[in-house]
Amino acid sequence: MADFVNNLRLTEIATGDESGSWGTITNTNLTLIGEALGFATQAITENADTFASTVPNGSTDNERAMAIKYTGALDSTCTVTLGPNTNSRLHYIQNATTDSGSSGPYSIIISQGSGAKVTIPNGDTKAVLLNGGGSGAVVTDLFASLSVVDLKVQDDLTLSSDSAVVTFGADADTTLTHTDGTGLTLNSTNKLTFGDAASFVHQSSDGVLTVDGEATIDLNASTAVLVSNDLKLDSDASVLGFGVNNEITLTHVHDSGLTLTSASGATTFTISRTGEADAKIIFDGNAQDFHVGVDDTTDDLVIGKGSTLGTTPALSIDENLLVTVSDDVFVTGRATGTQTADNDGNFDLTVGNFWTFTPDGDDTITLTNPAIGQSGVIYLDNSGGHDLSAHASIAINADVLSALDTAGKYMLSYYCTATSGNDTILMSATGALA
């Protein structure tokens, strides 16, 4: 009697059986052997959760092929059971199923018995081994652990499991690990090296990323290179260069400070502001802070105490270059001013406070553009004995004014009580000094 216990389910003719049919049976077996070494497509019943794919005895069928492509439309993962469960075979199986709904595509699960199974994601192909163990048959992923000398991949290489690890070295000393939703992690303090061993990136210690370019590290970005926390230049005399040719530099001076240098010779340090805001420099002292800046409220340049502009000013300069000192002025050494000669008796007080006056004829002493509180002196050399009078804005003792007509040299002092009006400029004079 014929038997079919072999893995290909070929007809095995018992001794003395099948007289006159040996040729036909042998030809069929040869056909089935060719079929077993070939490729076939098998359609899974639409939307099936389970599907039986059994090799028939002694007759042609797609399930016998070594390489099988499973097709069909699925609405869920489908378990494909390969029978009989006593067959010990190698199969290359492709999951070419489609999605019948909108939640797929789906995997297929290759089973032979109650033992281990192999899942094939949609679009993937796996080599599976069937151990033919009967009801407890086991399916094994042949390439679950693959060892090769050289592996050449013509297109994409995908590690489809979360936390997948690529291991390098005979002792697996270097690993590259996938972290789901995050990226890749190079283990320990191992380095990612570029070009030669001197250019690399690595975690030199816990929480410290070291980038070493041997000589130079170029950071190129079309808009900006962003540093989210501190930027430290940890070598003495380190330099920050600015511009295409680094014509502006900011150089560290050990234990001293920073030096701003321009290759052109003219160096400008600008503090700008956007909108309504103070622009200032704070000098953080041990016991007391000071500031220099533009007060947004008054738009004046202010030098003052503390870190807040306008609250404790010492000196301010307005747009007209008017200087206001908020407290006493203490001068060590001499305080001098510009001495201006004016020989026609007309003194423009916007020019200065100190004058020399040598009349060459009779003149009227006139002080124009006074400021409230302004004071000064006039050295009068009236050696010619010319007659002098005073403008109506000047309040001066008549006898003192008359005495100035006498040939001699005098010192006149003035003080302005108002910017205009008669008798608003108080004036006194010494007697003849020579």
What's the total number of domains in the chain? 5
Peptide bond into 56 cis (omega under 30): no
Provide the pLDDT for residue 1: 57
**Pair (36, 128) in one structural domain:** yes
> Could you list the pLDDT tens digit for every one of the 434 residues in the chain?
577 878 788 888 887 777 778 888 888 889 889 888 989 999 999 999 999 999 988 888 898 999 999 999 999 999 999 999 999 999 999 999 999 988 999 999 999 999 999 999 999 999 999 999 999 999 999 998 888 888 888 888 887 788 888 888 888 788 888 988 888 888 877 888 877 777 888 887 887 888 877 667 777 887 888 888 888 888 888 989 888 888 888 899 998 888 888 887 778 878 877 777 888 899 999 999 999 999 888 889 999 999 888 788 999 999 988 888 888 888 898 888 889 998 999 999 999 999 999 999 999 999 999 999 999 999 999 999 999 999 999 999 999 999 999 999 999 999 999 999 999 999 999 999 98
Provide the pLDDT for residue 395: 98
Peptide bond into 313 cis (omega under 30): no
Taken as a whole, the chain contains a residue count of 434
Q: Hunting for tokens 């005399």 — which residue is that? A: 237
Provide the pLDDT for residue 22: 82
Provide the pLDDT for residue 141: 97
Under 8 Å between Cβ of 352 and 388: no
Please name every residue paired with 73 in a beta bridge, in sequence order, or none if there are none: 98
Provide the pLDDT for residue 194: 77
> Which of 322, 324, 299, 321 lies closest to 313 in space, CA to CA?
324
The reply to whether 191 falls in a domain is: yes
**Pair (390, 312) in one structural domain:** no
Provide the pLDDT for residue 130: 96
**Pair (39, 133) in one structural domain:** yes
Task: At 416, list the tokens.
Answer: 């302005």
The reply to whether 186 falls in a domain is: yes
The reply to whether 330 falls in a domain is: no
**Pair (52, 122) in one structural domain:** yes
**Pair (364, 392) in one structural domain:** yes
The reply to whether 107 falls in a domain is: yes
**Pair (411, 368) in one structural domain:** yes
Query: Which long-range CB contacts under 8 A does 214-218 form with residues at least 24 apart?
Result: none
The reply to whether 290 falls in a domain is: yes
**Pair (98, 190) in one structural domain:** no
Half-sphere exposure for 132 (CA within 13 Å, toward CB): 12
- Phi first, then psi, for residue 193 (nearest 5°) are -105, 145
The reply to whether 6 falls in a domain is: no
Q: Hunting for tokens 């991949």 — which residue is that? A: 153
> Which of 204, 260, 254, 212 lies closest to 234 in space, CA to CA?
254
Write the single-letter amino acid at 37: L
Strands 354-357, 339-341: pairing is parallel
The reply to whether 153 falls in a domain is: no
Under 8 Å between Cβ of 367 and 414: yes
* Residue 373 backbone zone (phi > 0: left; psi -120 to 50: alpha; other: beta): left
Q: Hunting for tokens 């509180």 — which residue is that? A: 373
**Pair (264, 285) in one structural domain:** no
Distances (CA, A) of 67 to 63, 137, 178, 194, 426: 9, 20, 32, 43, 118
**Pair (42, 86) in one structural domain:** yes
**Pair (130, 35) in one structural domain:** yes
Q: CA-CA distance, 267 to 345, in Å (whole number)?
A: 44
The reply to whether 3 falls in a domain is: no
Domain containing residue 204: 165-213
**Pair (26, 96) in one structural domain:** yes
Task: At 272, list the tokens.
Answer: 């700008």
